[in-house]
A = this chain, B = another copy of it.
Amino acid sequence: MKPTFSSFLFGGDWNPEQWPEDTWEEDIEKLEDAHINEATINVFSWALLQPSEDRYDFSMLDKIVVLLVKHRFNIVMATGTAALPAWMVRTHPEVIRTDQEGKHRVFGGRHNFCPTSEYFRQASGALAGHLAERYADTPGLVAWHVGNEYGGGGGLCYCEGCARAFRVWLKEKYGTVQALNQAWCANFWSHTIYDWDDVVPPVINGDGIGENKCVISGLQMDYRRFQEQAQLACFTNERDAIRRHDGSTPITTNLMGTFKDLDYFEWARQMDLVSWDNYPGMDTPPSFTAMSHDLMRGVGGGRPFMLMEQTPNQQNWFPFCKVKRPGEVRRLSWQAVAHGADTVQFFQMKQSRGGCERFHGAVIDHSGSEESRVFKETAALGAELNRVGARLMGSRVVAKVAIMFDWQSYWSLEGCVGPTAGFSYPQEVHRFYRPLYRRNLAVDFIPSTSPVETLKKYDLVLAPALISLLPGVADHLESYVSDGGTFVTGYMAGIHDERDLVVPGGYPGVLRRLTGVWVEEIDALAPDETIPVEGLAAVDGQPAGQIVASLIHCEGAKPLASYGGGDFYAGSPALTVNDFGRGRAYFVGTPLDEAGMDAFMDPIVDGLGLPAVDTPKDVSISIRQSDDGTRYVIVINSARSPITADLPLLRGGEDLLAGGRVSGPLDLPPYGVALVALA
């Protein structure tokens, strides 16, 4: 497909306003030495741009832009609305969030505007409009960046204004309080209401049980949906203000992977292109990072995305922050490209002297030196991307496997009060993603409501922990499978309907017919407890389940494996498969460990003839396919030791980084990367 940008963007956040003006050009020149060609600016400048309610001052931004234009930089222009000016919070206190404990914020922090504040909408929209009017025609302007990391660190707002808006939202959704009572099962604990004013957001002093659970879970689900849409309306409000002055430059905001509070499928529909910030923790496995990239590509409908932020060195917000090892940033950058990134951008270009992010890595560190390890590694990466990056732009990841990622189930699963508090939805999705990643299979992420025609593009569709079945989903899945598709789901699936009420008649609810099982009970395991699962051909050791064990009755399905151990349900099915029409539906009764998931998934992968590629441990490959048929294979060694990988697939390919043709095994240094073009 046609790339969004005309060159491969290599750069990131630059905040010259924190430095004396006489240092700016010198810094730009340093960045040029590192082959940096893009600057994201103005991310946190609202207070500078608008000194008071009725005054704007673009003088400093003008100077910054002039300098970037002079140096022919690509510019991503932020609207700067992600942190409120102090004067605004002082004069309009309602503009800032109130937390779940009822504490109203005062000036400070960021990402904490009240999403239903009329003043915020007016003021942020006005600023975005002024910026667009002034800078729309700037040479090098490649994208608009609205706000920043919506929701990041800010939590939901529980102010009185939000409560009022929520009641209006509910009234529009349900029409009558009777319908609301019905949907919320409100006769529980005397929660029946007679007046919309009786609705109270799920605050801690009310029905909230922490931020994830609630006495009335429907209240919680509705409040999350309402808040998410209110934040989205803040984004579209600024977006529309920009569009009034700039009809074509793409508009984005930076997403955050598996962030819980926002349903990014809804968001991406309102964005011209997806961008996101990748900050893996020190113990995040590469497969989880890969999954996050795939999810971000998925919410954008499969199109390449911007890697808007990552760090050139250590992050600063962990209890302890290790420096990135040599080659580690390069590895992460290529991993992003491998999964669909068409840019590599950093936070940030120059390390701050003050503020709580001062110890976050940057291309230019506190020493200001070009001799630093980080600067040199960045420059080398820049040279490399400068040389070959453009060839990959617009190429696509082609997948025959899809995983449903469903924010409704995310909220609902983690909202359950019982049978366990052990679930993290993204971790459960990752449990099913990992065995596919291990076989180097491309995976698309799709919404649970995908129509049958979308499902049919895939040989295999997985729905991990899909606890909430929205209307129509079961029908689509039945059609897909009966027409020959293969479907995998399991524990916790199908329990709730779209109102977060249990579907009567036995788990997995509307999936019972498709999976051919009835889950009579769900037993929970202690945090360090496992249950053996027998009957799988595991490569490494005895597979085991954890967290929960579904007590399954086969109603047409055939058992594939059974529980071991000495409990009363030992011998009963732990894994099943059901022939349904021309396809098959698998049900996984317990969260299997890595060995178990591999042993379960490998036969399915092989049986479907999916294009798996086996690589040595810690070596992964990913493929981007361009319109001209070229396949770009990115090979990554995620280990801190060298590995030699013999990959027949690559024979004869053009080794774009090392040069020459691939004729034998690849010698990958620690964190090594290879990029091979196959005609």
Interface residues of A (CB under 8 A from B): 15, 17-18, 44-48, 51-52, 80, 82-87, 90, 99, 101-110, 184-195, 197-200, 202-203, 205-209, 213-218, 313-323, 325-326, 351-360, 365-369, 372-374, 416-422, 495, 499-507, 518, 520-527, 547, 551, 567-568
Contact = CB atoms under 8 A, between A and B. Distances in A.
Given A18-B185, A103-B102, A367-B520, A416 B193 contact: no
Given A109-B206, A205-B105, A367-B518, A353 B320 contact: no
Given A109-B215, A316-B418, A373-B521, 18 more contacts: A86-B191, A86-B198, A90-B197, A101-B103, A106-B206, A108-B205, A108-B208, A185-B355, A186-B354, A216-B354, A314-B523, A315-B418, A316-B417, A322-B523, A323-B521, A352-B502, A353-B501, A359-B417
Given A205-B105, A206-B108, A359 B416 contact: yes
22 contacts: A47-B192, A80-B190, A83-B189, A85-B190, A86-B200, A106-B205, A108-B207, A109-B207, A185-B352, A213-B356, A218-B354, A316-B418, A319-B420, A319-B422, A320-B524, A320-B526, A320-B527, A357-B417, A358-B418, A367-B506, A369-B520, A373-B521
A194 B418 contact: no
Contacts of A209: 356
Q: Give the residue among A15, A366, A551 with the most B Cβ atoms within 10 A.
A: A366
Indicate the member of A44, A326, A360 with the most B CB atoms within 10 Å. A44
Contacts of A190: 44-48, 80, 82-85, 110
A216 B417 contact: no
Nearest to A204: B103
Contacts of A80: 190
- Nearest 5 CB-CB pairings of A with B: A185-B354, A316-B418, A188-B355, A108-B206, A359-B418
Nearest to A422: B320
A369 to B, nearest CB: 7
A356 B402 CA distance: 33
A112 B554 CA distance: 45
Contacts of A501: 353-354
Nearest to A315: B418
Contacts of A523: 314, 322-323
A367 B505 contact: yes
Contacts of A420: 319-321
A188 B354 contact: yes
A532 B641 CA distance: 20
A516 B322 CA distance: 25
B358 A194 contact: no
A316 B521 CA distance: 13
B189 A568 contact: no
Nearest to A49: B190
Nearest to A502: B353
A485 B199 CA distance: 62
B315 A352 contact: no
B316 A187 contact: no
A75 B219 CA distance: 33
Given A367-B520, A418-B315, A109 B189 contact: yes
A357 B416 CA distance: 9
A188 B524 contact: no
B86 A419 contact: no
B369 A205 contact: no
A86 B195 CA distance: 9
A327 B319 CA distance: 41
Contacts of A189: 44, 83, 109-110, 355
B360 A193 contact: no
A187 B103 CA distance: 26
A520 B193 CA distance: 62
Contacts of A206: 105-109
A516 to B, nearest CB: 15
Contacts of A208: 108
Given A200-B108, A419-B314, A193 B86 contact: yes
A520 B503 CA distance: 60
A223 B421 CA distance: 35
Counting chain B CB atoms within 10 Å of each CB, which of A107, A523, A567 scores highest?
A: A107
Contact of A356 (B15, B102, B215, B366): B215
Contacts of A185: 18, 352-355
Contacts of A110: 189-190
A97 to B, nearest CB: 10
Nearest to A547: B320
A203 B500 CA distance: 38
A244 B105 CA distance: 46
Nearest to A566: B640
Nearest to A529: B320
Nearest to A369: B506
A206 B317 CA distance: 18
Contacts of A372: 520-521
User: Which residue of A216, A356, A369 has the most chain B CB atoms within 10 A of its CB atom?
Assistant: A356
Given A205-B108, A323-B523, A524-B322, A356 B502 contact: no
